[in-house]
Amino acid sequence: MRRWFAFLLMIALLLPASAARAQAPSLTVYSSVDEENARKILGAFSRATGIEARITFLSTGPALARLEAERGNPQADVWFGAPSENHVDAKIRGLTQPYASPGAAALDARFRDPENYWVSFYMNPLGFGLNTKVLENRGIKRPLSWQDLLSPQLRGLIQMPSPQTSGTAYNMVVSLVQIMGEDKAFAYMKQLHPNVQTYTTSGTAPSRAVAFGEVAIGIQFTPALYQLYFRGYPLLTVFPKEGVGFEAPAISIVKGTRREAEARRLVDWMISPEGQNSLAEQETFFFPVTEKARRQSGLPALRLVPLIKYDVDFAGKNRLRLVNRWLNEVLGGR
């Protein structure tokens, strides 16, 4: 009898704990941030708020396709990451819903939707990753501009991603269009083409190739370049003097979410001082979007980066046309 009583007492003690776990707040996140950094950032959010983030990792295209397929019965609460022009696309398609976070008004206009459908929570500029040993061994001067990349000495020594598969490369296309004008930009990319060894499917693949000395130059967003430099690789990150575009990955609340309160909490936290400081604390090598946030050691001050006024709306509305033009005039011109 005593054993039976002890068993019942143990069950009674366990039930509240299991019930609490079942009722713990959570939200489902479709993350287009790379897995390592997404786990770091969302882990910090969960520790700060007690809200469990259940993460599904999807690159930009598959994430949009999943949201579209689930529009009648949404399975995610938040889309986390992917450059903001993709969130413009999601807004146009009616896949997300507005939320005016109290912290959004303080953000630069480049980092928020005027109708509150999305806010950016970090940014990364495009840059050239230079393998200084490869350049020195070949006697090649370090390129400091877009025009310098056209040097015949760099034939077959550059890697960059393909705009057909990579948001990073599409950002480069749009940036060049804004810097040079569309026709001149496509003429430039056609000239650059013989110097490109490989167009990678992944936006971050060039960093590994340039770090390992497979090429002299990799063009991409900067986090992986800085990360590999601090791991001891002979890399130098350069920003072309004519200007560079940048990615400003955003967060949107999925239309029809059943966990709107938790989703709003994530948006609020990501642009709060605590959330912005977590980017440096978690060693993401991401640039914060709020002025007072701590910048990770080793990252340059933003005033030293020649950022252009990247037109997110233009990028979001002209993707198919510009990518097709690149395929026809640049890749097809080989």
Single-letter code of the amino acid located at 225: L
Burial of 40 (C-beta count, 10 Å sphere; 0-12/13-18/19+): middle
**Domains recognised in the chain with CATH numbers:** 19-123+248-296 (3.40.190.10), 125-246+309-333 (3.40.190.10)
User: Using 50, 70 and 90 to split pLDDT, how confident is the model at 20?
Assistant: very low
- Which residue has 């590994």 as its token pair? 208
User: Using 50, 70 and 90 to split pLDDT, how confident is the model at 313?
Assistant: confident
Q: What is the Cα–Cα distance from 80 to 85, expressed in whole angstroms?
A: 13
Largest interatomic CA distance in the chain:
90
Q: What is the Cα–Cα distance from 83 to 120, expressed in whole angstroms?
A: 8
32 has a pLDDT exceeding 50: yes
User: Using 50, 70 and 90 to split pLDDT, how confident is the model at 86?
Assistant: confident
User: Using 50, 70 and 90 to split pLDDT, how confident is the model at 3?
Assistant: low
**The pLDDT value given to residue 6:** 52
Q: What's the distance, Cα to Cα, between the start and end of the chain in Å?
A: 85
User: Using 50, 70 and 90 to split pLDDT, how confident is the model at 13?
Assistant: low
**The pLDDT value given to residue 191:** 97
Q: What is the Cα–Cα distance from 6 to 21, expressed in whole angstroms?
A: 23
278 CB-near residues (< 8 Å, 6+ apart) = 40, 41, 44, 45
Share of the chain above pLDDT 70, in %: 93
**The pLDDT value given to residue 85:** 86
**The pLDDT value given to residue 18:** 46
In the chain, how many H helices and how many E strands? 13, 12
Q: Encode pLDDT of 201-258 as tens digits.
A: 888 899 999 999 999 999 999 999 999 999 999 999 999 999 999 999 999 999 999 9
User: Using 50, 70 and 90 to split pLDDT, how confident is the model at 83?
Assistant: confident
